[in-house]
Chains A and B, each alone.
Chain A
């Protein structure tokens, strides 16, 4: 790695910060709600929490009593639950409206502070060499070209071959891995690791359903044969 180390560190920062935001996306609504510290938002949040608690209490109560023995109480609770659901829906919509402006601001900050700078860096420093190869013929010519110039080299390869009659990698000195390819390799590695962790650790295994019916066996067929009417004699109970 040469003196342009700051470029690599900045890229690592962008990639990992983006991943952190991706992993925490389910908590963003709550964060925005906490960040939006207007009295109205706080009031709505309080209302929402109290309605949720009330609904939980009513549900528990209804589950603990017999509807047939306590019909009036059970029905009154159901009516209250119906009203609470309507109220919760209204408050939820109001909260979403309040949070929408915060989300919009956050989206803009993310775009200006993370996405656009990262893209600019990637385009501007795409040919910056992160690693140098010790030897010129360490990889085949085509691969060496891709490492140095990115995937565009692969697309333009046939054209260059037709023009020069061969692939010339001497144009790409110093030979090594460019920033574009290094970022692609890092992101692919992170995504693969993420997939493996999800599949092997976080996803619960699903057991095959228990076999309900036994396969028909020889003795059962024999029993069926026994049920056949063989004579006219009727036995009394």
Chain B
């Protein structure tokens, strides 16, 4: 008997095991709308669980999508009981680290403007590190480590599932490579500290920091993340694309890369579809021509990804912003969009002021 794969994300939305869900794809294909929709649907279908939506894209859109301001700390979405959002802000996080370094330097005896504290006054560390390539990914990774530690210790707000609204493909792949890269790096570093451990500890003795212990702790955390990210019951990646050549090409590249990282990927959301055949009421020639092109690529997607959940989402008449519109739109992730029955909803979104 052939296994039929449902053209929706019902299984994922109702999944009780998934802890990390990544949503990614090429720029401008609707990653934020899709990640918000997945988060809303999960929150609605599993009301007893807590969900966190994190934007790791340096150009954050979550605040715009929900129509309310989110910052570097998780904040509950107005009108929901179990969905929070946060936008990782590299500059703010680095400023905090800089302030901490200043206070620590001052505590250790460097007084006034002459000491190390004085050197860091005015956010020197933040300015220096803020320009390092990949710092956004590193900070996102630190956030993941923080959540895992919180869960282990039972401290702070505990979230059952974290959904990542990721940056465009290149950034995301770099972020997902981090556990592997760090793991290898720490392994090499561990070998060196094994030989030079006492000397390194004596060098860092002034701050009473045991370097090898800290490295071992970091290595354990990285290994945990690596294990969790490669476990298909805990982590999955949802690819978002539009029915156009370049978007599909990048999706294929993303999928192949994810497979090479041993990450689970079995869902594709195809956004901005016109379904013009079933929209005879608004006889738009341009839409029909464009839909014909979209159908050509949809057929190719079906042929290429036959064992994937390919979810076909409509292009709406208005912007999908605010909890209400997002909720209406997100229902098609749980139950696939039917162009003949659900056509009205596309125009309902238009009326929002």
A residues sitting closer than 8 Å to B (CB atoms) are: 67-68, 71-72, 75-76, 78-79, 82
Contacts and interface: CB of A to CB of B under 8 A. Distances in A.
Given A72-B300, A76-B304, 17 more contacts: A67-B245, A67-B249, A68-B245, A71-B245, A71-B248, A71-B297, A71-B300, A71-B304, A72-B299, A72-B303, A72-B304, A75-B252, A75-B300, A75-B304, A78-B252, A79-B256, A82-B256
Contacts of A78: 252
Interface in B291-346: 297, 299-300, 303-304
Nearest to A69: B296
User: For this complex, into which size category does the number of interface residues on chain B fall?
Assistant: 10 to 19
A60 B300 CA distance: 21
Nearest to A76: B304
A110 to B, nearest CB: 40
7 contacts: A71-B297, A71-B300, A71-B304, A75-B252, A75-B304, A76-B304, A82-B256
Interface string B163-194: 00000000000000000000000000000000
Contacts of B252: 75, 78
Contacts of A75: 252, 300, 304
A85 to B, nearest CB: 12
B259 to A, nearest CB: 10
A72 B245 CA distance: 11
B135 to A, nearest CB: 32
Contacts of A82: 256
Interface in B148-165: none
Contacts of B297: 71
A66 B299 CA distance: 16
A78 B249 CA distance: 11
Interface string B239-251: 0000001001100
Contacts of A76: 304
A183 B300 CA distance: 71
Counting from the closest, the 5 A-B pairs by CB-CB distance are: A72-B300, A71-B300, A72-B303, A68-B245, A72-B304
Contacts of A72: 299-300, 303-304
Nearest to A71: B300
Interface string B107-131: 0000000000000000000000000
Nearest to B260: A82
B294 to A, nearest CB: 12
A72 B304 CA distance: 6
Interface in B240-274: 245, 248-249, 252, 256
Contacts of B248: 71
A86 to B, nearest CB: 10
A106 B4 CA distance: 59
Contacts of B304: 71-72, 75-76
Contacts of A79: 256
Contacts of A71: 245, 248, 297, 300, 304
A75 B256 CA distance: 11
Nearest to B252: A75
Contacts of B300: 71-72, 75
A68 B248 CA distance: 10
Contacts of A67: 245, 249
A78 B300 CA distance: 14
Contacts of B249: 67
A100 B300 CA distance: 46
B267 to A, nearest CB: 18
A122 B231 CA distance: 68
B48 to A, nearest CB: 42
A52 to B, nearest CB: 22
Nearest to B299: A72
Nearest to A68: B245
B292 to A, nearest CB: 13
Q: Specify which of B297, B300, B303, B304 lies most central, judged by the most chain A CB atoms within 10 Å of its CB.
A: B300
Contacts of B245: 67-68, 71
A78 B304 CA distance: 12
A82 B248 CA distance: 18
A87 to B, nearest CB: 16
A92 B37 CA distance: 48
A236 B252 CA distance: 53
A68 B297 CA distance: 9
A33 B103 CA distance: 69
A71 B245 CA distance: 8
A99 B335 CA distance: 59
